[in-house]
Homo-oligomer: A and B are copies of this chain.
Amino acid sequence: MPGHTHAEVIHPEKDFTKHSSPEKSHVYCMKSSLKSQSKKMINCMTFPHPDTMPEQQLLKPTEWSYCDYFWADKKDPQGNGTVAGFELLLQKQLKGKQMQKEMPEFVRERIKIEEEYAKNLAKLSQNSLAAQEEGSLGEAWAQVKKSLADEAEVHLKFSAKFHSEVEKPLMNFPENFKKDMKKCDHHIADLHKQLASKARKALTERQRDLEMKTQQLEIKVSNKTEEDIKKARRKSTQAGDDLMRCVDLYNKAQSKWFEEMVTTTLELERLEVERVEMIRQHLCQCTQLRHETDMFNQSTVEPVDQLLRKVDPAKDRELWVREHKTGNIRPVDMEI
């Protein structure tokens, strides 16, 4: 369950709020404070000024975790626009999914080749060429064909195992994963959508709202006349409170986005580890099956070798002569 993992490991909200609890005493330093030296806004998000960077520790130091390295946007290599860090992770995941779809296709092609090979070997083993060879050589020859049939069988079993133990699990892995996700009522696709649009949109709205409130407050403060000073102060206190609420809502939206960003990148990271492990495991299964096939193949040669060692032309002649001899009395000279 990605929520748990994330909550146990890094507590992003706690971490997040640690550096930035709203200071309610500075109500009146509106616009200037928004553009203050200590913070900068990029793409609706509030980042600390580079000078304050050393304050931040990596959430998961030494792990090269996705959740630590994709907070900023990246310039599009094509030149125009930027790509969000999260988008890069998403692209990587999609690419991984594509690879995972292509691998069983490759395996299926291999299986087809094995099946074709096995079919041809089996067919040849049924062939009657030189079937009339006799004696111990005839036995060895018959075993050559028998072993060919066995070899075909080995390749057929190999391809069947390749299908059930490699191709199918590779193909079905994403589905199993989806089922897991449904179980913990937390669909990754929703998370992606949320992060790619909803949370971000909410954040944008929050920021627009915030800017409006800030302007209103400034107008009110600059328009104040001496007679309205008391009233204005009251109103400005009121507007200040409104702005405070907006900042609070903005921070909450950003915090929500932050939390989902961490949760989802960790989830993507976990998925990638699982994907790599799963593929590694099934490719290991491939080589294991290949080992077995070579071993079984080897064993089909054994009986041929044994019978070939027993081939004995003298013995064969004895058997044939015993069966076919016509007479051992030799002709003699005629006498008168």
Contact = CB atoms under 8 A, between A and B. Distances in A.
Interface of A: 16-17, 19-23, 26-27, 29-30, 33-34, 36, 38-39, 45-48, 50, 53, 56, 58-59, 63-66, 68-74, 84-85, 88, 92, 95, 98-99, 102-103, 105-106, 109-110, 113, 116-117, 120-121, 124, 127, 129-130, 132-133, 135, 137, 140-141, 144, 148, 210, 243-244, 247, 250-251, 254-255, 258, 269, 272-273, 276-277, 279-280, 283-284, 286-287, 290-291, 294, 297-298, 301, 304-305, 308, 311, 313-314, 316-318, 320-322, 324-336
Nearest to A316: B276
A332 B48 contact: yes
A53 B283 contact: no
A291 B301 contact: yes
A247 B333 CA distance: 9
Nearest to A206: B334
Given A88-B326, A124-B113, A311-B276, A335 B258 contact: no
Contacts of A322: 64
In the complex, the 7 A-B pairs of residues with the closest C-beta atoms, listed nearest first: A72-B327, A20-B333, A69-B325, A85-B326, A102-B130, A20-B332, A276-B313
Nearest to A302: B287
A45 B327 CA distance: 13
B71 A330 contact: yes
Contacts of A70: 325-327
A305 to B, nearest CB: 5
B133 A21 contact: no
A328 B71 contact: yes
Given A326-B73, A329-B71, A336 B22 contact: yes
A313 B39 contact: no
A330 B103 contact: no
A331 B34 contact: no
A199 to B, nearest CB: 12
9 contacts: A46-B333, A47-B330, A64-B321, A71-B328, A85-B326, A103-B129, A106-B144, A110-B148, A283-B308
Given A251-B333, A330-B71, A334-B46, A290 B301 contact: yes
A258 B333 CA distance: 10
A272 to B, nearest CB: 7
Contacts of A132: 95, 98-99
Nearest to A310: B280
Contacts of A317: 64-66, 269, 272-273
B69 A286 contact: no
Contacts of A16: 330, 332-333
Contacts of A330: 16, 47, 56, 59, 71, 258
A326 B72 contact: yes
A184 B297 CA distance: 46
Contacts of A290: 297-298, 301
A286 B283 CA distance: 31
B127 A250 contact: no
Which residue, of A30, A98, A331, has the highest number of chain B Cβ atoms within 10 A?
A331
